Structure 1
Amino acid sequence: MTRPINGLQLGAALLLGLLGLYIIWQGSSYDIGSLRRMGPGFFPIMVGSVLLLFSVLLAAEQWRTEKEQDFWIPRPILMISAGFVAFAALLERTGLVPATLALVMLVSLSEKPVRPLAAIATAVCLSVLGVSVFIYGLGIPVAAIRW
């Protein structure tokens, strides 16, 4: 008995593979270098290769999984996109901490059931980590909280 082909998963694997090939093609115009002295083309070629590998694995996995009936669920796509837009819009106006809080709270609405305590704990931890790493550690000129 043959299984039905999951066209959505194969399409995603094809797009991911095409993206990986494009990145490899663009990165091959730069000097690759060696493992000890990596050139500017080394990282794009490695990232493209990993994407290409993931696309092959995703295509191979479609034969092991059942076809999903409910493949279009707009809530996660909309909430994650809204979180990215809110972070980008709030970062310079309000600072890193409020932007991170907005991002995590909006993204947490994408899954059911919504867990507000876990979202708040994650938002606080990511805000502290972001301020520690990006502002104090790397010295990126962004305010933690802008009044």
Structure 2
Amino acid sequence: MARPFNGLQIGAAALLALLGLFIIWQGSDYSMGSLRRMGPGFFPVMMGSVLLLFSLLVVWEVRREEKQENLWVPRPILMICAGFIAFAALLESVGLVPATLALVILVSLAEKPVRPVATVATAAGLCVLGVLVFLYGFGIPVAAIQW
């Protein structure tokens, strides 16, 4: 018996693949460099490749699962977008740690049930990791907390 075809998810995977291919195509105009000395084209080509891989994984997952009837649920889309917007708006004005906290809290509200312990643990871990990697490791000129 043939499995039901989930056109919405396959279409989303196709758009993701097209975006990945476009990014790879645009990034291939720049010098790639090497792993030790990356050129300006390295990051876009790698990110496009990751998007292309994700699109293939989405198609593979869609083939394995049953068709869902109600795919349009606005809450996750709205909360994830709100998290990204809050992070972008707060990063320069209040610092990396509060912006990361706002991002994690808003994104955690996307899925029911809300798990406060997991949200706090994720927020704390991402704040510590963000400060260590981006501020100390890469030396990005952003304050951890700016009052």
TM-score, length of structure 2 as denominator length: 0.82
Shift of 1:42: 4.3
Aligned to 2:28: 28
**In the alignment, is residue 80 of structure 1 matched against residue 90 of structure 2?**
no
Deviates further, 66-75 or 49-58: 49-58
Amino acid of the structure 2 residue aligned with 1:97: V
Partner of 1:139: 139
Equivalent in the alignment of 2:93:
93
Distance 1:89 1:43, change over 3 A: closer
Match of 1:130 in 2: 130
Superposition RMSD in Å: 2.4
Q: Relative to structure 1, is the Cα distance of residues 31 and 133 closer, same or farther in structure 2, using a 3 angstrom cutoff?
A: closer
In 1, Cα distance between equivalents of 2:101 and 2:65 = 36
Cα distance, 1:52 vs. partner?
2.9
Stretches of structure 1 lacking an aligned partner (at least 5 in a row): none
1:41 aligned onto 2:50:
no
TM-score (norm 1): 0.82
Equivalent residue, structure 1, for 2:12: 12
Separation of aligned partners in 1, 2:66 and 2:28: 38
Residue 118 of structure 2 corresponds to 118
Q: Distance in 2 between matches of 1:90 and 1:73?
A: 27
When structure 1 is superposed on structure 2, of 25-34 and 79-88 the one drifting more is 25-34
Shift of the 42–7 alpha-carbon distance from structure 1 to 2, 3 Å rule, reads same
Shift of 1:78: 0.9
SS at match of 1:102: helix
- How many residue pairs end up in the alignment? 147
- Name which of structure 1's ranges 128-137 and 7-16 shifts more when overlaid on structure 2: 128-137
- Any unmatched runs of 5+ in structure 2? none
Task: Report % sequence identity.
Answer: 73
- Specify the code of the residue in structure 2 equivalent to 1:74: P
Structure 2 distance, partners of 1:15, 1:58, is: 11
Change in CA separation of 1:134 and 1:45 when aligned onto 2, cut-off 3 Å: closer
